[in-house]
Structure 1
Amino acid sequence: MTPAGGAGTRERAGAGGSARAIGMRTYVRSQLRHRGRRAFAVVGAVALGAALIVALTSLGAGFREAARAPLAGVAADVILTRPDGAAPSQQTARGVRLPFGLSTFSPADVAEVRSVGGVSVAVGSLQIWDFGPRSTITVAGVDPSQREVGPGRVLARDLVKGRAFTARERGVAVLDQHYAAFYDMKVGDRVKVGPREFAVVGILEVRDSSQAAAANIYVPLADAQQVAGLKAGEVNQVHVQVGNSSDTEEVTGRITDRLGTVSAITPDSLVQIMGAVGRISARFSTIAALVGAVGGLLLSWTALRGLVAERIREIGVLMAVGWRRRDVVRAFGLEALVLGLTGAAVGIVVGIGLAGLLSYLPTPEIVTGPPGAEGHAAAGAEDTGLPVSVGLTALLTAALTSVVGATAAGVLAARRATALKPALNLMSS
């Protein structure tokens, strides 16, 4: 049986605890109202760190997405070409020829690529130039049996009129929409490539994400090889899809070991040609964002220390009237939590706004295939903004870092202030 005195003691302790809790909340609300400048400084510092996390992380993701987009349009992780070292000045005659500086892969080479561990699909294609008296056109020889990877994917996905050619068709062509509009051509017309004419069966729109497969005219691969004077099966591009995209660089190394000198276009290699801002943003955006967050937290720590230092005497009064050290620490921790939440919310909103502004940055120009001659292959390409998007991970990181950091800073500052005896706090100026 519990003694009545013990029960009364617990009731009084419970009542005292409830009173302290109510007093703690009242105290925090009053301090937030009456110390607006200090509170604003803390919120601003926390918001700065949160905004940097959101904005810089989103910027890096935008550059990485811009590097992946050209390959994603053809569902490839790697595009292989083979340089031949010939100078452009040695290849000036009119007619159909391979792009300057490119050699070919044999059917055995393509089979070798397919046999490399980690390679899921390898599709060969042929890009050729037709130097005419007034203009130069880019022609893509497409394997019509391959619709999932490479230029065949563009034919299957980006048609706007007519149809794509089938695996057994010859002497047919699909035109890029902008090339067709420039020359006022439509389905049913005939187009000339070198000495041969092709029946136009379709029109397609080369989207920005499909620039790796951009050409003026698309013809069956066998026709392109014949027009270019190549043997059956010879190609100058191999579009490779890797089973696990995270293994792309490792798989590319294996291919290079087997084939010798080849040029491999991968998302990482595209990042390299984006310029300094693109490279730094894509590779170090997370580190830069965290450094910014740490800077914001240091500022908030400084502001919180000042906030606590201003109230040394108040802490002494609170402890003199019965507040325990942990009550004071909890009160300041609660205040820091409120300020951290507010700063995180403000920072996330500002960061999302900054990310929106960054999306107006132009997407870096990236060459993803054989160098294009001046013509109409890129006529449809429009300046587009950087594909900046705010991810949930960036938002959560910003929120957690800001709230936890600000709260911890407030608690630590309060613990240092309450380490002094109440009498010393009361004597502090």
Structure 2
Amino acid sequence: MACPITLPPTVPVGAVLHLPTLRLRRGQVRADLAYTHVVPATRRTGHTVALGVDWGLNTLLSAGAVRLREGGRITALGSGGRFRAAGVLAKQHRLRRHGEHLQAKAGRYQRLIDGRAHRELPVDGALIARHEQVREEIRHVSERRSHLNEALARAAARWAVDQAIATGATVIYLEDLRSMEARGMGRTMNTRLSQTVRGRISDRIRHLATETGIAVVAVPARNTSRHCPNCLTPLLHRKAPDRPTAHGWKWAVCPDSGCGYQGDRDQGAWMRIAARGLTHQTRTAVERTSGHLLIRSTVDALETAAVITPTAPTSSRPDRSKIGPTRPRTARPAPRRRRAPSPARPHGPADKRPEGHAHTDRARLPRAARRNQSVTTISTPATSRHRPRGAALGAGFHHHAHASPPRWEPIPDTTSATGSPS
């Protein structure tokens, strides 16, 4: 019997195919076809562009690229990115709690069955049926959790490798998982750390990176989130400025006045991981049991050079960020400039332009400008309930609005001894 198999486009053209393995799944015959193809060789040293990956709880992965320049300077290539899996992790936690509840029910049924058998009493068939039903639900929930973990591992690994390919990195530096054991952090934190499938993600990253010739090296995670990536000063952690009510201390501030670094602690962690990997790349070794590349320990002489040098801004435009309160502005706007040209001969005294916004081609001002309006003159109120005090009723601009003195009227001189004109 001949079974035609169509190869997917992910299989390279020059790949060597191996014998397939057939398996039944939901009434269908599926073929697992293995193949071998040539991939670029990875190297331990000689890297100039590296991708640092930091593990987190709410933000599963934080990654960014750095470059090793001449003279040993290390600069960051952009601000990095984050792989958020809060929704998937929340579903994973719900399935875990549901599985624990089912395990408690199954244990209760098993104790009831064992107790009746120990006392040589007949075991109820309905009790055995409920116990088998709960065991079947537990297997179903376990399969869902396994599929969810596998999908999460594939997505996170694909994202990390794509970040390395996009930035041109030849090595990916990961935190050493052996220092991330879930012990001594409380029941909730230990459960979260053990359920984030970091081991599967690391294996997937190594598998996908090998196909593109990118090396994956494990780096010690000591003090990656504690020290400043620019000056290695111990950081001060506090609430994030954009989320002051969120739990935890996600924001890191360098107390050194000459440095002034501040940012998300995960962002500073991947900078430290990538810089530590580039400076310690000559100490990269191969683990005998697994064959993975790793850096076992750090050296103080090399650690002092594992700092990120801030790059100068490429734009000459000055910084217009707001650093203080807005300067108060007057409520009265400045008068508009005159749009009418000045007359050939002044109508008033010499060397004086006519005032006001009246047109210069008229012999006399309009009637509205000749009305007797003073500072306390307002319009006549429309209602009889409110009667203004201390203001003369007359022509005005708006109800309850005091008009300024007309600019075409002389301003009384209150300081002279002769008094003001009536």
TM (normalized to structure 1)?
0.19
Q: Which has the larger radius of gyration?
A: 2
Q: Which of the two has greater helix per residue?
A: 1
TM (normalized to structure 2)?
0.19
